[in-house]
Chain A
Amino acid sequence: MIGQSPIRTFIAHAVLILGVLVVAFPIYYVLVASTHSLQTILRPPLPLVPGDQGWANYSTALFGGVGRIGGVAVGTLLFNSTVVALGIAIGKIIISLLSAYAIVFFRFPGRMVFFWLIFITLMLPVEVRILPTYKVMVDLNLIDTYTGLILPLIASATATLLFRQFFMTIPGELVEAARVDGAGPWRFFRDILLPLSRTNIAALFVILFIYGWTQYLWPLLVTNRSDMNTIVIALRKMISFADADTQWHLVMVTCVLAILPPVLVVVLMQRWFVRGLVETEK
C-alpha cells in the first residue's frame, strides 16, 4: 500500500466503516423490525435489538396469508417469484446461446441483418413496447399465467451479444478439429461449446436471475389475481398510505424473504465466478 501511516489507515478505515454502516443499517433494521410486533414498531422509539416475535411473524407471513394482498401466503409469492426469475434466467440463457451460436458459426443469408436486429433491440427498453406486448398477451389469454410473466422478457440482446463475443474468441482450429473428429453442429454445441461457456453461463445466470427477481412493471400489468403476484409486487401492495392500515411487521418479514433468494444465488454462485475468472484458457 502506498504511504502507509497510522493516520491514513485510520481515515481509510473510518470511511469504509461509515460506508458499510450507511449501506447495511437499513437492512439490519429490516431484520430487527421483522422480529417485533406491529405495536412495538409503531411506538417510538424504534428498538435496535431483535425482539421475541420473530417466530410468530414469519409463520404468519409464510403460511397464514396477509390481508391486504388478498390473503395470499408469502410462501406462494416466493414460489411465483422463483418460477419467474428462474424462467427468465434459464430461458434467456438458452435463447441467447442458440442465437449466438447461429450467428457466429453458421453462414446463412441475412445473418448480419439478424445480428443488427438483435443489436437494435438493445436500445428499446421494455416500457417502449409494453402496450403492444400487453395486447398480445391478452389475445393469447396469457394474463395471470407464468407463461405471460416470463415469455415477453425472455429474449435478451445483451446476453446474445455476450455469448457472441465469447464464441468469437474460440479458435477456428478447435472448430475444425471437432469437424475432423466427426462432431456435427449439434454435437459440437453440446460437447465443446457448452462446457467451454459454463463460467459465462454461471455469471449470466446470476445477473439474469436478479433481473427477473426484481421485475416490477411487467408483473404489475400482467397479473390481476393476488395468488399470481410476485413478491416484489405484493410487497408494494402491502404498504398502505395510512400507517395504521399497514402491517409493518409482516412487511418487514416479506422484505427479508424477498432479499434472501437473490443473496443466496450470489453467494452460492460466487465460487463459480471466481473459478471462471482464474481459469480462463482456451
Chain B
Amino acid sequence: MASVELKDVRKSYGSTEAVKGVSIAIPDKELCVLVGPSGCGKSTLLRMIAGLEEITAGEVRFDGQVVNAIGPTERDIAMVFQNYALYPHMNVFDNMAYGLRNRGTPKDEIKRRVDEAAKRLELSHLLDRTPRQLSGGQRQRVAMGRAIVREPKVFLFDEPLSNLDAKLRGQMRVEIKSLQRALGVTSVYVTHDQLEAMTLADILVVMNGGLVEQAGRPLDIYEKPASTFVASFIGAPPMNLLKLSDLSVTAPAGAETLGFRPEDAVIASATSGLRLEARIEAVEPVGAESFLHGTTPGGRVILRAPGRSQVEVGERVAVNVPADKLHFFDAQGKRVEGQGVSVQI
C-alpha cells in the first residue's frame, strides 16, 4: 500500500515526445484510471510507473520516495497485462506462485496465499490446469490472481478487459472494483473505454497527445469537462458541440463553442435556456431509451429520449436545454465559465 505521485514525468523516443510532462497524485488505496485515445501516452505512462520503461525526465514517487532508478521487481508492483502474459508451460498454481518463489517466500506461505487468492477468484478447481485449457475469462482471473498473491504496494492494469466479450467485461469490471476496495491496494488502470473509466475510477485522468487534459473525480469531469476533447471523449453518446457563430445565443465572453449532453435536452418548447429546432434524421431505439440524430443550424446533434420515442424520421422538433446545462468552450477548446441564456427563433 502506497501513495503514488508523478511529477512532470516525460518520455521521449529520440526526438518524438510520447509523454510531455504529466503530474498526478494518487492517494493511498485509491484507483486511478488513465483514459484516452490510442497513442495518447497512457500505456507508456503506466509502464514508467511499473519500471518497465525508463523515465526521460521527472519523478515517480511511491510513498514520497523517488523510484526512478529502481527496477520493476524492487518497486514491489504487480501488473495485469492486456494479453494476460501467463506462462504457457506452467499450471495455474505455478503461474501464481512464480513471483513468490523468486522472492524466496516459504513454501507453506506460498500455498496459503495462492489458495486464498484462488478461492477469492473462484479458481480453486483449476489450479492444475495450464493456461491453454482455460477460457478467456478464467485466464483473466489467473492474471489477477498472480497480481493479488504478491500483496504488492501498487497494482497496475494495462487494458486488462479489452480481450473479453462485452458481457464478461461488465462482470469483471464490477469484480475488479470490489476486489480493489477489499484489498485496499493503490491501483493505476489504463483503458481506452470511457465507460470502464467512469465506473472504476476514484480519480479519472483523461489524456490526449501526451498531456493530461483533465484529472479529477469521474462525475466532476462528466459535469464540468475542461475542454471540448474531454467533453466528446467522456460520455456515450458524446456531448453535442455546436458552433456559437451559427446560433443567436448570449454566451460568456470568449466562448466559441456551445455544448450540451444528449440527456439534458428536452424535446419541447420552453421559454428559458437554449431553444433549437432540429430535423431528425435517424432514430436509434435501444430499449430503455432512444437516441435521435438530428441536424440543427449549429451542426449535428444527438438527443436522448426516455423510453420509445414517438418522433419520426424527417420530423422537425423543438429542442430545449436548460441554461444551467449548457457548456461553453473557447477557440482553443478550453472551458469558459458562465451561463448563456437565449432564445433562438
Q: Give the shortest distance, in Å, between A164 (CB) and chain B (any CB).
A: 20
Q: Give the shortest distance, in Å, between A175 (CB) and chain B (any CB).
A: 9
Pair B88/A182 contact, Cβ less than 8 Å: no
* A176/B102 contact (C-beta < 8 A), A182-B73, A281-B132 known: no
Report A-chain residues with C-beta under 8 Å of the C-beta of B102: 181-183, 187
Pair B88/A180 contact, Cβ less than 8 Å: no
Pair A180/B50 contact, Cβ less than 8 Å: yes
How distant is the Cα of A252 from the Cα of B72 in the complex, in angstroms?
64
Pair A196/B83 contact, Cβ less than 8 Å: no
Report B-chain residues with C-beta under 8 Å of the C-beta of A181: 73, 98-99, 102, 146, 150
How distant is the Cα of A249 from the Cα of B150 in the complex, in angstroms?
69
Report B-chain residues with C-beta under 8 Å of the C-beta of A179: 52, 71-73
* A180/B87 contact (C-beta < 8 A), A173-B82, A187-B102, A191-B98 known: no
Q: Give the shortest distance, in Å, between B14 (CB) and chain A (any CB).
A: 15
In the complex formed, the residue of A with least CB distance to B86 is A177
Q: Give the shortest distance, in Å, between A91 (CB) and chain B (any CB).
A: 25
A47 within 8 A of B: no
How distant is the Cα of A180 from the Cα of B74 in the complex, in angstroms?
9
Most buried by B among A174, A177, A183, A191: A177
Pair A182/B89 contact, Cβ less than 8 Å: no
Report A-chain residues with C-beta under 8 Å of the C-beta of B72: 176, 179-180
Contact string against A for B residues 114-153, beta-carbon threshold 8 Å, 1 for contact and 0 otherwise: 0000000000000000001000000000000010001000
Q: Give the shortest distance, in Å, between B330 (CB) and chain A (any CB).
A: 42
Report B-chain residues with C-beta under 8 Å of the C-beta of A182: 73, 99, 102-103
* A173/B89 contact (C-beta < 8 A), A182-B102, A183-B102, A281-B132 known: no
What's the A-B contact tally at a CB cutoff of 8 Å?
56
Partner among B50, B88, B150 whose Cβ is within 8 Å of the Cβ of A281: B88
* A176/B87 contact (C-beta < 8 A), A181-B102, A182-B103 known: no
How distant is the Cα of A183 from the Cα of B85 in the complex, in angstroms?
14
B81 within 8 A of A: yes
A217 within 8 A of B: no
Q: Give the shortest distance, in Å, between B154 (CB) and chain A (any CB).
A: 11
A192 within 8 A of B: yes
Report A-chain residues with C-beta under 8 Å of the C-beta of B50: 176, 180
How distant is the Cα of A241 from the Cα of B85 in the complex, in angstroms?
65
In the complex formed, the residue of A with least CB distance to B47 is A176
In the complex formed, the residue of B with least CB distance to A282 is B88
Q: Give the shortest distance, in Å, between A72 (CB) and chain B (any CB).
A: 45
Contact string against A for B residues 149-172, beta-carbon threshold 8 Å, 1 for contact and 0 otherwise: 010000000000000000000000
In the complex formed, the residue of B with least CB distance to A176 is B52
How distant is the Cα of A189 from the Cα of B150 in the complex, in angstroms?
22
In order of increasing CB-CB distance, the 3 nearest A-B pairs are: A181-B99, A177-B85, A182-B102
Some 18 contacts from A to B, beta carbons below 8 A apart, are A173-B83, A176-B85, A177-B79, A177-B86, A177-B87, A179-B52, A179-B71, A180-B77, A180-B78, A180-B99, A181-B73, A181-B98, A181-B102, A182-B99, A182-B102, A191-B87, A192-B89, A195-B89
Given known contacts A182-B99, A187-B102, what 19 new A-B pairs fall within 8 Å (CB)?
A171-B85, A173-B81, A173-B82, A173-B83, A176-B79, A176-B81, A176-B85, A177-B85, A179-B71, A179-B72, A180-B50, A180-B77, A180-B99, A181-B73, A181-B146, A182-B103, A191-B87, A191-B98, A196-B89
